[in-house]
């Protein structure tokens, strides 16, 4: 189909009709011109394809599909290739089911552990989230199927998500909430983008021209179509003008008529309607040209893949005395309802109708000497004394007790946020009771976000399994029994308490305006800056082997901000088992004129090493690794100075570091005015020289004793320096009773503004 020719032959009504869905999941067709309908489907960790009765919240049943680990788990793999492989599997499923676009990945930043949808999101860190998203997208789209990266942007809470106004300053937007989208758009070129429900600084995302056109298309080069989240459109005409192409789901033709009316009344340029049609049809045509409905969907093979992926994502949080891996032949007590019926995904639009589910008990029951006790009921938070007593007996008779615990479905889901970070009381009581009778107690966690662990000192080992998909039981057994060496690392900080989080005083407290008062200090950026103790830091994770780092080498000791820096480091497996290490590279600005985080993740690599093996890992850092968003320039800016290149095992465990000096090539606007203060002006020797006569006269006046008190104490030098530092130029007229004139001050300002000197650097 010649898309532009087809559009030129359409009536206005036909063109407007293409700008909204025909139902919950399909775009519209124009049969007389050969324009076919295409289907989209929820994801992103599996297919939630619905056929007849449709909904957008996962209430009604969908087709049987493979449920892979959710975003909270896959990001913890820190493995780009793994994300790509997952995407390829999803793409094959979409081809088999004739789906043009899978609605994902979800890359919103985990601003608070309480967000009900955090299980879908990747990380609190935008660099990690962007890399995970880009590789997932590349995997899906390599199969000739599109993705819809979501939710653009600042959808960081479920509370009032359809009407809340995210109030975010420009720098915070650019450094925290937009980069994951930017990375994915530039690196992977998703076919579509889904805008969020909420307002951003007073304008709905769906009608925010700055967001959808200026940034997304003109700045980042996005060339696909933008669709709405389901029911997110406020003003359909304004959203077309802003750059929203497809409204989902169908509005029964009501909004199509509004578009037609606006064009005929001259309120909407018809060329914008044509442009939206072109974008939608180009994507649909791309799918149709690559459609392969005969693609094999081997669900059993994908189930095994889901098991492998889940094992790679698990994070070993504690392993005192090397209790894990478990040795076959020891008496093991398996305790907890999640052992037989694991929680493996979250609720809402991403809920997959899994074709099969395996619990850990299925694997453990194959061993010789194992026993089971339920311990708690999933449907109640209240401790059950009978179940607790049975669990104590079972645990007491075993050498090792493995408790499967976490958060029930009702604790975290799309549509609402958590109220606290605690586990159900029945599970916390169970852990303490079992640990009291068995010193070798292991806890396996099934949860989509951080939890408080007041019992952490009572147990010997903790394995974070997250929401690991339908094969999580087998994957958990693989890790516990040592078939797989755990290599996951936390993609988010686990705070000790909810009260320790940066957003605690205000998260979810406002009804309309949601002020992002913590600014760029999200996740580890906040905890590390405040030096707040945490339960487990960002990037943390243990292994059954040990790794050592050596020979951190920088390609240069000094670079310009237009250049690149190559960083290499050697990693050696000094343990007795093969394993994988996640090498994390952080950049620390040693001194800045703006408040910056202590360090920020700017590179990572997962490397597999046999026992005794050494490999060299290399990174390349460009301008953005050193830059902050400058609100005067409305652009990224690097200040001249030293930056620490830090290699860490987490944000709190830096093992090697070297400094590089970066030279700025960009001049900052730094106009002097009568409101400029002396502390800033005197930092420049040439400006200080111009101000010398004014300062001398001012100091002379300030040191003159009061006329009726010849013995009064003069102002000290320290006091004088402090008073001068924060004084604006204009105040000189008042403090000298006019001896320094307005004209003198204006002339001094003009001289300082004519100093021909680059203002790059600090």
Q: Which residues are tagged catalytic?
A: 229
Q: Strands of 336-425 (E only): list them.
A: 353-354, 370-373, 400-406
Residues in the chain: 762
Using CA atoms, how far apart are residues 297 and 400, in angstroms rounded to an integer? Answer: 40
Specify whether the CB–CB gap between 760 and 664 falls below 8 A: yes
CA 309 – CA 304 distance, rounded (Å): 9
How far apart CA 624 and CA 566 sit, in angstroms, is 14
CA angle (597 as vertex; 511, 316 as ends), nearest 5: 85
Alpha helices in 9-96, H assignment, sequence order: 12-17, 71-74, 80-96
Q: Decide: residue 287, CB within 10 A, 0-12 exposed, 13-18 middle, 19+ buried.
A: buried
Compute the distance between CA of residue 198 and CA of residue 250 in angstroms, rounded to an integer.
20
The token pair at 12 is 């206005």
Do 45 and 77 meet the contact criterion of CB atoms below 8 Å apart?
Answer: no
Three-state helix/strand/coil letters over 88-157: HHHHHHHHHCCCCEEECCECCCCCCCCCCCCCCCCCCCHHHHHHHHHHHHHHHHCCCCEEEEEEECCCCC
- Do 123 and 107 touch, CB atoms closer than 8 A? no
Q: Which of 445, 501, 207, 147 is nearest to 314 (CA)?
A: 445
β-pairing, 579-589 with 641-650?
antiparallel
Most distant pair of Cα atoms in the chain: their distance: 102
- Return the DSSP state at 159: T
Q: In what order do the strands lie in the sheet with 565-573?
A: 547-554, 565-573, 614-621
Q: How far apart are CA 537 and CA 531, in angstroms?
A: 11
Angle at 520 between CA 518 and CA 524, to 5 degrees: 90
Whether the bond into 153 is cis, omega within 30 of 0: yes
Alpha-carbon gap, residue 112 to 500, rounded angstroms? 11
Note whether 39 and 19 are within 8 A (CB).
no
Distances (CA, A) of 704 to 714, 736, 737: 7, 11, 13
């Amino acid at each position: 189909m010649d898309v532009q020719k087809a559009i030129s032959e359409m009536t206005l009504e036909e063109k407007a009709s293409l700008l909204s869905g025909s139902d919950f999941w399909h775009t519209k067709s124009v049969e007389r011109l050969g324009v076919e309908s295409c289907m989209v489907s929820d994801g992103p960790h599996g297919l939630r394809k619905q056929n007849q009765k449709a909904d957008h919240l996962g209430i009604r049943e969908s087709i049987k599909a493979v449920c892979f680990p959710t975003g909270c788990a896959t990001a913890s793999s820190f493995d780009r290739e793994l994300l790509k492989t997952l995407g390829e599997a999803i793409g094959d499923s979409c081809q088999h089911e004739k789906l043009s676009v899978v609605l994902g990945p979800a890359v919103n930043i985990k601003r608070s552990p309480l967000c009900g949808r955090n299980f879908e999101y990747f990380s609190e860190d935008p660099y990690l989230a962007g890399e995970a998203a880009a590789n997932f997208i590349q995997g899906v789209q390599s199969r000739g199927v599109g993705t819809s990266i979501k939710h653009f942007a600042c959808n960081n809470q479920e509370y009032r998500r359809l009407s809340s106004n995210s109030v975010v300053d420009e720098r915070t937007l650019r450094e925290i909430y937009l980069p994951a989208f930017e990375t994915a758009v530039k690196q992977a070129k998703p076919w579509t983008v889904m805008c969020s429900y909420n307002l951003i600084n007073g304008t709905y995302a769906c009608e925010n021209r700055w967001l959808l056109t200026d940034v997304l298309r003109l700045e980042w080069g996005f060339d696909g179509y933008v669709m709405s989240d389901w029911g997110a459109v406020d003003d359909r005409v304004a959203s077309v003008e802003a750059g929203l192409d497809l409204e989902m789901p169908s509005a029964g033709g009501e909004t199509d008529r509004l578009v037609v009316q606006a064009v005929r009344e001259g309120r909407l340029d018809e060329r914008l309607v044509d442009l939206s049609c072109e974008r939608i049809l180009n994507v649909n045509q791309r799918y149709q040209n690559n459609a392969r409905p005969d693609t094999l969907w081997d669900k059993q093979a994908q189930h095994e893949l889901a098991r492998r992926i889940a094992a790679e994502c698990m994070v070993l949080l504690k392993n005192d005395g090397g209790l894990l891996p478990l040795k076959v032949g020891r008496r093991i007590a398996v305790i907890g309802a999640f052992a037989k019926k694991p929680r493996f995904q979250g609720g809402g639009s991403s809920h997959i109708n899994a074709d099969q589910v395996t619990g850990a008990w299925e694997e453990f029951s194959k061993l010789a000497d194992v026993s089971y006790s339920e311990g708690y009921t999933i449907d109640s938070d209240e401790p059950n004394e009978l179940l607790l007593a049975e669990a104590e007996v079972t645990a007491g008779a075993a050498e090792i007790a493995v408790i499967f615990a976490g958060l029930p479905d009702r604790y975290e889901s799309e549509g609402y946020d958590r109220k606290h970070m605690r586990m159900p009381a029945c599970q916390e009581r169970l852990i303490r009771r079992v640990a009291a009778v068995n010193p070798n107690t292991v806890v396996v966690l099934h949860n989509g976000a951080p939890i408080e662990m007041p019992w952490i000192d009572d147990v010997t080992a903790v394995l974070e399994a997250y929401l690991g998909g339908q094969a999580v039981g087998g994957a958990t057994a693989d890790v516990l029994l040592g078939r797989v060496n755990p290599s996951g690392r936390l993609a988010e900080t686990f705070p000790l308490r909810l009260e320790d989080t940066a957003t605690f005083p205000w998260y979810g407290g406002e009804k309309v305006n949601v002020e992002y008062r913590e600014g760029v200090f999200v996740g580890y950026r906040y905890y590390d800056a405040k030096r707040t103790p945490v339960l487990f830091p960002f990037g943390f994770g243990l292994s059954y082997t040990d790794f050592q780092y050596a020979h951190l080498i920088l390609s240069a000791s000094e670079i310009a901000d237009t250049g690149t820096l190559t960083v290499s480091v050697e990693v050696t497996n000094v343990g007795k088992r093969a394993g994988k290490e996640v090498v994390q590279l952080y950049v620390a600005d040693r001194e800045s004129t703006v408040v910056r985080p202590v360090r920020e993740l700017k590179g990572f690599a997962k490397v597999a090493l046999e026992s005794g093996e050494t490999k060299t890992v290399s990174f390349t850092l460009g301008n953005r690794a050193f830059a902050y968003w400058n609100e005067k320039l409305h652009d990224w800016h690097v200040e001249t100075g030293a930056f620490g290149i830090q290699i860490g095992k987490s944000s709190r465990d830096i093992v090697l570091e070297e400094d590089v000096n970066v030279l700025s090539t960009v001049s900052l606007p730094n106009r002097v005015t009568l409101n400029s203060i002396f502390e800033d002006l005197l930092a420049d020797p040439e400006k200080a020289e111009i101000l010398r006569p004014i300062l001398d006269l001012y100091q002379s006046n300030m040191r003159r004793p009061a006329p009726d008190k010849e013995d009064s104490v003069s102002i000290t030098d320290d006091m004088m320096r402090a008073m001068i530092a924060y004084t604006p130029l204009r105040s000189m007229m008042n403090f000298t009773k006019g001896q320094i004139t307005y004209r003198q001050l204006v002339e001094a300002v003009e001289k300082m503004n004519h100093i021909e000197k680059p203002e790059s650097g600090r």
